[in-house]
Each structure stands twice: as structure tokens, then as C-alpha cells.
Amino acid sequence: MDRRIISETGSAILFIIASLIGLVLAMELESISPTNPSQNTTAGIGYVLYFIVAVLVVSAAIIFISRKKKTGFLRIFFVLAMTLVIFVVASLLYALLPISEITYYILTFGTSMLFLYLLLFRQSWIILNIAGVLTSAGLASIWGVDLGVYSAVILLIVFAIYDYIAVYKTKHMIDIARASTSSNMPMFFVIPESRGFSMKDVDIDKPSEGEEGERRGAIMLGFGDIAIPNVMVISSYLYGGTTLFFLLPLLGGIIAMFALFSFIKRPAPGLPFLNTGVLIGFGIALLLRL
């Protein structure tokens, strides 16, 4: 099998794993929430505005600090942020196990501290991808529960537009990607095409396909490219209550991911493809229920 196809399949598998973990987390969050927020389909419209402002502020801060050559600070900030999300994810997952309270706290704290150490001092594409899946699943589950399905639709539409503008118009997302790869900031999944791949080989400006030595040698996806579409996958299931409302948005996202890889070879916005795919899947689920 072509190495490119293997890495594309690996990307789809990461998407699926994040969806499944996110679903488990969302069900646990629902069980401990006294208000069952996902039943309010427009509950999170205010959150959408908050997320947009937060992304704009963080993006501006990354560009400003990276131009000041202070990327070490940014790396620590993102590692700490990921560790916090992983702590929340671990606390929810370990709560499902039949273990003692002391074991629960040891495992939860130990898991987050392990990833803090690995991301700071032993970062590799494997560690990055595992941490990215847990972080993406955690964010997707929290937002999927809090937003409500129609607010999630708005979120996906807005971020698809933003991603397009950020890559093709203002191009600041490319600057953020360069800053991330040059300073090992944990912001991207890296799915290599060969076993001998090293993180030192990552170059965002190289095409994903081409002559050997002239291409990137790996597929790169932002954590948001997995987390944000999965917000819709999770909120769709919580809204519809049937497997169909989970599988169809998930399938739409996977098909959109392969379409993205087929048509786009250089750095490109992923969310216009992926968000459209999961939204179409949600729409089909709605039609089938009628």
C-alpha cells in the first residue's frame, strides 16, 4: 500500500478514536450534570462568541510572541493547557473503572504529570498524537455537551469561514504553523509516511506530495481540525439520541478528510472540508428521522 494512503488512513483513525473517546466522556459529563445542558439545543450561543474572541486573541498573541522570539514561553503555555485538559479527561475516564478512591486520584494525577513530562522533555510524533487525541476528545466532549446542537452548527460554520480566511487571506494561520513546528509547540497531529520519520524533518512549507526529499513526509492536522468537527459529532448524538446521529456525522467527517487529502497538497484550511462533512452527515440524520 502507498505510504501516503497509510498516513491518510492513520489520520482518519485518529479522528475516529477522538470521536469514540469524546462520546464516552460526553456521556459521563451528562450523567453528572444536574441540568442536562445538551437538551437545550441553543444553550451555547454565548459560548460561540466567547470561543471566537478567544481564538482571535490567542492567535494574535502567538504571532506577536513568536516574532519577539519568545516561543519557549508559548510552548510551555500550550503544554500546560494540554496537561490540564488531559487531567480532566483522565478524571472522567478513570471514574468509569471499579477502583478505589486513592487509586483513582493516583492514576488521574499520575497520567497528567506523565504527559506533562513527555510533552516537555520527550516529545515525539507518537506522544504528540496520543496527547492530541485526548485533548481533542476532551474539548469536543465538553463543548458538545455545553453548546447544544444548533449552537454547534453555528460554531462549525463560523470556524470554517475563519479557517479559510486565516489560511488564504490573512495567512496568519501559516505563520502560527511555522512557529509551532520551529519551537515544538504541541498544536498539530503529525502522521508520518515512513518509520524513519523524525520531528526534525517537519517543514510546513514543503508540499505533502512530490519527489522524495522535496515533500514534508507527513500529514499535519491541527488539533482543532479534529476537535471542532467532533463537537458536532458529539452534540448530534446527544441531540438525536440514536447511533445514526453519531455515525452519519462521523462518516461525513471521514469522507471529508479523504477529500481534503485528495484535492489539497499544500498547507490548506481543513475545517471548511471537515465541518461541511459532519454538518452534511447531521443533516442526513435529521432527514432520515423525518
Encode pLDDT of 6-32 as tens digits. Answer: 788 989 999 999 999 999 999 999 887
Report pLDDT digits (tens) over 220-272.
889 999 999 999 999 999 999 899 999 999 999 999 999 998 876 667 889 99
Give whole-number Cα distances, 247 to 49, 167, 234, 253, 266, in Å.
28, 30, 10, 10, 30
Q: What is the pLDDT of residue 192?
A: 84
- For position 113, what pLDDT does the model report? 97
C-alpha grid cell, residue 115 = 504527559
Sequence-distant (6+) residues with CB within 8 A of 277 are 229, 252, 253, 254, 255, 256, 257, 259
Q: Does 201 have pLDDT greater than 70?
A: no
State the Cα–Cα distance between residues 41 and 239, nearest whole angstrom. Answer: 7
Q: How confident is the model at residue 207 (pLDDT cuts 50, 70, 90)?
A: low
Q: Are 223 and 189 in contact (CB under 8 A)?
A: yes
Question: Looking at residue 168, what DSSP letter applies?
Answer: I
- Please report which confidence band the pLDDT of residue 52 belongs to, taking 50, 70 and 90 as the band edges: confident
Distances (CA, A) of 231 to 47, 56, 67, 210, 289: 13, 19, 32, 34, 21
What is the average pLDDT value for the chain, to the nearest integer?
A: 86
pLDDT at 6 (0 to 100): 78
* Cβ pair 190, 7 in contact under 8 A: no
DSSP state of 221: E
Q: What cell does 146 get? A: 455545553
The whole-number pLDDT of residue 265 equals 65
Averaged pLDDT, 185-189:
87
Return the SS3 of 42: coil
Query: What are the respective helix, strand and coil percentages of the chain, to the nearest 5?
Result: 75, 5, 20
pLDDT of residue 42: 57
* Pairwise CA distance, residues 227 & 132, whole Å: 9
pLDDT of the residue at 56: 86
Of residues 47 and 158, the one with the higher pLDDT is 158
Q: How confident is the model at residue 106 (pLDDT cuts 50, 70, 90)?
A: very high
Alpha-carbon dihedral sign for residues 158, 187, 114, 6: positive
Give, rounded to a whole angstrom, the gap between the first and last alpha carbons of the chain.
Answer: 41
Mean pLDDT of 44-62: 83
Q: Looking at per-residue confidence, does 53 or 264 come out higher?
A: 53
Amino acid identity of residue 7, one-letter, is: S
What is the DSSP code (8-state) at residue 1? Answer: -
pLDDT number for residue 186: 86
Report d(CA 150, CA 143) in Å as an integer. 12
Q: Which helix (H) or strand (E) holds 105?
A: helix 101-121
Q: Whose CA is closest to 269, among 164, 187, 126? A: 164
Comparing CA positions, the residue from 22, 277, 17 lying closest to residue 138 is 22
**How does pLDDT run across 129-175, given as a tens digit for each residue?**
999 999 999 999 999 988 888 899 999 999 999 999 988 888 888 88
Say yes or no to pLDDT of 48 above 80.
yes
Q: What is the pLDDT of residue 160?
A: 95
